[in-house]
Amino acid sequence: MTVNLFAGTGGMSVWFSSDRGDNWQRPYSESGLYLESRIWALSSHPAEPDTLYAGTDSGIYRCSVKAKTWTHLPSAMDDLDVWSLVQSPSDPRVLVAGTQPAALFRSDDGGMTWTKLPCRFAEECIYVARPRVTQILFDPSDNQKIWIGVEIDGVHLSEDGGQTWERRSDGLLSDDIHGLAVVQTPERVLFATTNKGLHRSTDEGRNWAFQSLDSPWQYTRAIVPSPSNDGTVFLANGNGPPGDAGRLLVSHDFGENWQEAPLPVEANSTPWCIAVNAADPRLVFLATNLGQLFRSQDGGATWEKLKRELGEVRALIWQDQPT
């Protein structure tokens, strides 16, 4: 299996690796994407392995992976920062994008045309001044259900593909949402990560409860269930943005309990991005906010640090590329 690994950076565009992170290259501006672009989000879909989408500081771009060429997809987001971008698991042509200032857009034709969705967000907030959509999550049990995390405006849910929305944030210690996850256990659990810690809900986000971590810090970023569906969940934990220390936490019981993963060196900042793929649940990648890259090839039991460091990393995904 050929693995393509992609890292989106804050000022050095998108980096490509075709050997599981051992070596990297960055296409120059002639590829169609300015080589010093700020990349906030990346998306790919197993049904279209040659296509990669990027949310940037100048709108949305689509890449032909084999050719390493980018095409700008004009939209009302061209003058906005696109902070989140996902494709529907059931249809790669359905995309939802979130921006700063916070707004949502949907495309049903692979990004050629976009419709702004009727979701209202706060217009101002502390810390980042203008709220931004940090995560969009298609619910694994129903692709018409879309969860949204906003920094800083809590959790929002649509049950009809984005046509109507409801804010579901009761019980959160902070509306500064960094990550969301749905974990399928004997009971269905939602997780939300914030600047003040991890929260969980067992009633579809109507009520949230703080879940204290056995860690020097409660600050959390990405939370990602393993596609193995064996109870493994990964959680990024550190001492702030970007921070100067951090841990990768792992749960083997669907998020009930957490242990520190054995990273081979100290993290230089808060771990930020976790990349998994159902094509091989044992292959997991981790990036810290300030550019360290780690790889596990046994489902997170052991880790190795990759040689390359990439400055500020904001997005990390991998895909199975057919030969």
pLDDT digits (tens, 9 = 90+) for 97-144: 999 999 999 999 999 999 999 999 999 999 899 999 999 999 999 999
- pLDDT > 70? residue 42: yes
Interval 133-190: pLDDT, tens: 999 999 999 999 999 999 999 999 999 999 999 999 999 999 999 999 999 888 899 9
List, in sequence order, every beta strand (DSSP E) within 139-253: 146-151, 154-158, 166-167, 177-184, 188-194, 197-201, 209-211, 220-225, 233-238, 246-251
CB proximity list for 161: less than 8 A, separation 6 or greater: 106, 143, 144, 146
Cβ–Cβ < 8 Å for 54, 84: no
Cβ–Cβ < 8 Å for 73, 62: yes
pLDDT averaged over the chain? 96
Pick one of 2.130.10.10, 3.90.25.10, 2.60.40.1940, 3.40.50.670 as the CATH number of 2-321.
Answer: 2.130.10.10
Q: What is the mean pLDDT of residues 54-75?
A: 97
SS3 286: strand
Q: What is the reported pLDDT for 196?
A: 98
- pLDDT > 70? residue 295: yes
Alpha carbon 89 to chain centroid distance?
15
CB proximity list for 49: less than 8 A, separation 6 or greater: 65, 319, 320, 321, 322
Q: What is the mean pLDDT of residues 83-109?
A: 98
Closest CA to 49 of 2, 14, 97, 86: 2
Q: What is the reported pLDDT for 306?
A: 98
Question: Residue ranges of the domains in the chain?
Answer: 2-321
Cβ–Cβ < 8 Å for 25, 58: no
- pLDDT > 80? residue 322: no
pLDDT category, 323, cuts 50, 70, 90? low
Concatenated DSSP letters for 136-165? EEE-TT-TT-EEEEEETTEEEEESSTTSS-
Q: Which amino acid is at 22?
A: D
Cβ–Cβ < 8 Å for 169, 154: yes
Tokens of 309: 């460091």
Interval 243-287: pLDDT, tens: 999 999 999 999 999 999 999 999 999 999 999 999 999 999 999
Alpha carbon 32 to chain centroid distance?
24
CA dihedral 161, 164, 170, 173 (to 10 degrees): 70
Q: Which amino acid is at 55?
A: G
Q: What is the reported pLDDT for 1?
A: 82
Closest CA to 38 of 132, 172, 171, 138: 132
Q: Tell me whether residue 89 is exposed, middle or buried, using C-beta atoms within 10 angstroms of its C-beta: 0 to 12, 13 to 18, 19 or more.
A: middle
CA distance 218 to 140: 27
DSSP state of 118: -
Q: How many beta carbons lie within 10 A of that of residue 63, not counting itself?
A: 24
